[in-house]
Homo-oligomer: A and B are copies of this chain.
Amino acid sequence: MAISRLIFGLTIALTSQADAHPNLILTEAGVERIRAELGAVPLFDATVARVKAEVDAEIELGIDTPIPKDLSGGYTHERHKRNFLVLQQAGALFQILEDEKYAVYVRDMLFRYEAMYKDLPLHPQQRSYARGRLFWQCLNDSNWLVYVSQAYDAIHDWLSEQERQTLEQNLFRPFADFISIESPQFFNRVHNHSTWGSAAVGMIGLVMEDEELVRRALYGIEDYNRGVGATDDDGGFIRVEGQRAGFLANLDAPFSPDGYYTEGPYYQRYAMYPFLVFAQSLHNVRPDLNIFEHKNSVLLKGVDALLSLSDADGEFFPLNDAQKGMSYRSRELVTAVDIAYHVGGRDAKLLSIAEEQGQVLLDDAGFSVAAAIRDGRAQPYEKSTINLTDGHDGRQGGVAVLRQGDEDLTLVFKYTAQGLSHGHYDKLSFSLYEKGDEVLQDYGMARFVNIGQKGGGNYLAENSTWAKQTISHNTLVRNETSHFEGRYEIGSEHHSELQFFDASDNGVQVVSAFEDDAYPGTVMQRTMALIKNERFEKPFLLDILKVISHTENQYDLPFYFMGQVMRANFAYESPAALRALGEKNGYQHLYLEGTGKPSGNNTVLSWMGHGKFYTLTSATHAADELLFTRIGANDPEFNLRRDAAFIIRRNGVANTVFATAVEPHGSYSPVSEIAINANSNIAELNVVYDDDDYTAVMIEDIQGHTSIFVLSNDDASASSEHELEIDGRTYEWWGPWHHSEI
C-alpha cells in the first residue's frame, strides 16, 4: 500500500502539471476538433441546438437557488436538480460555442451556491439514513457534485485564481467532505449510493487537483468500519464486515465478470452514469490507472450487458426494484453508449443505439459518436441470447435472456443473488415478451419516481408488502411464504445455481437452474426452453418446474398474464364478493376472482393482449386448484395496478413437476376485425416420465404430431451420453436435454 500511494502521489503531480482544463469529459484536443467541425455533424449540431435553447431559456428565467425544503417532486428539489443539469450543459456550451455568457451564468450560480452552502444545515426532511444539505438525501447532493464538477472544469481556466480559491474553499471542499467523511454511512458502502458519492468526490478532486479527495474517492475512507449490521432506508445493510469501499471496490463487487450489476438493469442504468463519467475523467487525467481495462474491461462489458437486458423497444427488464418504461433512451444510457463507443474500440453497433437515442453528449465522446454516424458507420444492434453471471466472481447465479427470431419471443429467467437492498424474493422467476410487449409480466416496483403526490415520489409501502414478495412474481411459492421468509439477511446469503445454459441449437434454447435455500428442505429446479417448431406459427415457451421436498406442502405457481381472458377449458366459481387471497406475504394484495378444478389432464387458458393471442397449457392434477386473481386488495391509495394472474395451486404433495407451455399465436386487428390463428396449436401436454434422473414432457399438436422434450435432471454435462426408454420407445442423446419429433 505504501508504494502504491507513493506512485499515486507522483502521478498526480506529473499529470496536473501537464494538463490544462477542461480535462474531465471535454479535453483541449477534443474541444479543438469540435469547434473545427461544428455545423457539419448533424446529430451533434442538433444536440447543441436543443441544449442551447434549453439553457438560454434558463438564463432568461434567471438563477434560483432556493433554501432546501422539499422531498423529490417538490419545488426546491426539482429546482436544484434542474440547476445542476443546466450548469453542466452551460459549461459545455461555453467550451463549444466560446460564448462568455455561459461562463458568466455558471460562475454566478456557483457563487450563489457558495454563499448559501457555508451556513446550510442538514436538509429539513428526515426520511433518509444519510440526509443531504441541498437535497433530502446525500445521494442527490452527490448527483449535484458529479454534474457541477464538469461545469466547474469547463470554466476553470476562465475564472480568476481568487474566484477558484473561494469556490473551492467555501463550496467544493466542504461539499466533498460532507458527502464523504461527514456521511460515512453513505459514502463507505458498496452500493449505487456510494458510487455516486465516490464519483462526486473524485471528479471534484480531479478538477481541484486535490490528491486527497481523489484517493478518498478511489479507495474509500480508511479505517472506517462503523455501521456493520445497520440498514439503510430500503432495508439494505450499510456495511458488511471487512468490506472495502470507494470507487474501485464499487466497481469490483456489484459487477459480475460479465458486466451484470447485481441490483438489476434499472439501477445499473442509474449507476452507469457516475461509473462512466468518472471513469472517463480518470481515463483522461489518470491514464496510468487504465480504468477501462479494470477487471477485464468490466465497465465496457457492463454497457453491453445493460443493452442486452432490454426488450425490443429498448425498455429494461424490470428485475428487482425497477420502474417500468425506463429504457436505453435515458440520459444515463446516452452517456454509457457514447463513452463506450469512444473509449471501447468504436463498436459500430453502438452507433445504431445512439441514432435511436437521437442525442449525444456535448463532449469528446458524443462528438466521436455523432461524427461516426455522419460518416455512415452505424451497424444494427442485434440482441442475441445471452447468459450473464451474477456476483463479483461470477459464481452467484445469473440471468439468462433467451431470444427467438428478431426478439419475436424473449424469455428473461432470473436465478441471481439477492441484488442488495433492491432485490426481490423471486428465485427462478421469469418474464416473457413478444417484441416489446409483455406476455407474462414482472410487476416491477411499487413507486412513482419523482411524482410528489405518490409518497413524495419515494418507495411506497406496497413495495415491501407486495412488489418484493415472491407471490408477485412468476415463480413458486411454498405454503404462502416468500423465499427466505422475505428476509434480506437470509436472502443476501444465498443465490440460485445454474444447471446448464445451452443456446447452441437456435431452434431449442434451454436454460436450467436450481434453488435449494429459498425454502429449506425443498429443492426447486426450473428448466425453460424456447422452442421453434415448424408446425407452430410462432416459437413457444416450455416451462418445467421440478420440486423435491422433505415435507408435504402447498405450492402456488402464478402466471401474470397480460391481457383479457379469452377462454378457459375448466369450470370455475366466481365469488359474489371479492376477498383477499391471504393475509400476508403479498397474498393480502390479491383478490380472488375465481376458483376452479382441472377438467382433465390439461388446464388451458387463453388470453388476448396487445392484439395478439396467447395460450397457456399445463399438465395439472385432478386435485389442483385453479385460481384467477387480481392485484389490488388492501391497497386503499390505489398504488398498485389492477393486473390479473392465473395461479396453479397444488396442495398436500412433497415432490412434483409443473409442466407448462406458453404459446403465442395469431393476432387481432380492431381495424380489419380479422382474428388470425386465434386458437392454440397444442392438443395435449403431458409429463410422460419423471424420476431423479430424467423428466420428459410430450406435446401433441392439434394435427396429431407429437414431440418430446427430455431433461437430464442431474447431469448437466454436454458430453454425457444418455439412453432412456419411455412407453416402449428408446431415446438416445448427448448432453443435458433432448428434443425430437416422434
Contacts and interface: CB of A to CB of B under 8 A. Distances in A.
Contact of A577 (B323, B453, B577, B594): B577
Given A448-B608, A578-B579, A628-B638, 14 more contacts: A323-B673, A324-B670, A325-B671, A326-B671, A330-B672, A449-B670, A449-B673, A450-B675, A452-B675, A454-B566, A574-B636, A576-B580, A578-B591, A642-B642
Nearest to A640: B564
Contact of A671 (B330, B580, B630, B670): B330
Interface in A437-469: 448-454, 457
Contact of A451 (B330, B448, B608, B630): B608
A630 B679 CA distance: 30
A451 B638 contact: no
A641 B594 contact: no
Contacts of A641: 564
B671 A453 contact: no
Contact of A642 (B78, B606, B630): B630
Chain A interface category by residue count: 35 or more
Contact of A678 (B325, B452, B572): B452
Interface string A621-639: 0000000101010111110
A73 interface: yes
Contacts of A642: 630, 642, 644
B574 A453 contact: no
A173 interface: no
Given A329-B671, A450-B673, A567-B453, A577 B579 contact: yes
Contacts of A671: 325-327, 329-330
Contact of A670 (B325, B452, B564, B594): B325
B323 A670 contact: yes
A576 B579 contact: yes
A610 B330 CA distance: 18
Interface in A615-663: 628, 630, 632, 634-638, 641-642, 644
Q: How many of these chains are in the complex?
A: 2
A331 interface: yes
Interface string A655-691: 0000000000000111111110011000000000000
A502 to B, nearest CB: 35
Interface in A570-589: 572, 574, 576-580
Given A579-B577, A594-B636, A451 B670 contact: no
Interface centre among A327, A572, A669 (most CB of B within 10 A): A669
A453 B606 contact: yes
A565 interface: yes
A235 B591 CA distance: 36
Nearest to A636: B574
Interface in A210-262: none
A671 B328 CA distance: 8
Nearest to A451: B675
Contact of A453 (B449, B454, B566, B579): B566
Interface centre among A634, A635, A642 (most CB of B within 10 A): A642
Interface in A523-576: 564-567, 572, 574, 576
A479 B686 CA distance: 55
A46 B630 CA distance: 46
Interface string A323-366: 11111011100000000000000000000000000000000000
A227 to B, nearest CB: 29
30 contacts: A325-B670, A329-B671, A330-B671, A330-B672, A331-B672, A448-B668, A449-B670, A449-B673, A450-B675, A451-B608, A451-B675, A451-B678, A452-B675, A452-B678, A453-B566, A453-B567, A453-B678, A453-B679, A454-B566, A454-B567, A457-B675, A564-B638, A565-B637, A572-B636, A574-B635, A574-B636, A577-B577, A577-B578, A577-B579, A642-B642
A644 B630 CA distance: 14
Interface centre among A325, A608, A673 (most CB of B within 10 A): A673
A448 B324 CA distance: 29
A326 B669 CA distance: 9
A638 B565 contact: yes
A613 to B, nearest CB: 9
Interface string A177-217: 00000000000000000000000000000000000000000
Contact of A73 (B73, B670, B678): B678
A144 B492 CA distance: 66
A187 to B, nearest CB: 24
A502 B73 CA distance: 40
Contacts of A331: 672
Contacts of A327: 671
Contacts of A323: 670, 673
A329 B669 CA distance: 11
Nearest to A637: B565
A636 B574 CA distance: 6
A566 B451 CA distance: 9
A519 to B, nearest CB: 30
Interface centre among A566, A579, A644 (most CB of B within 10 A): A566
Contacts of A632: 593
A606 B628 CA distance: 30
Which 9 residue pairs spanning A and B have beta carbons closest together?
A: A325-B670, A565-B638, A578-B578, A574-B636, A453-B567, A577-B577, A453-B566, A449-B673, A577-B579
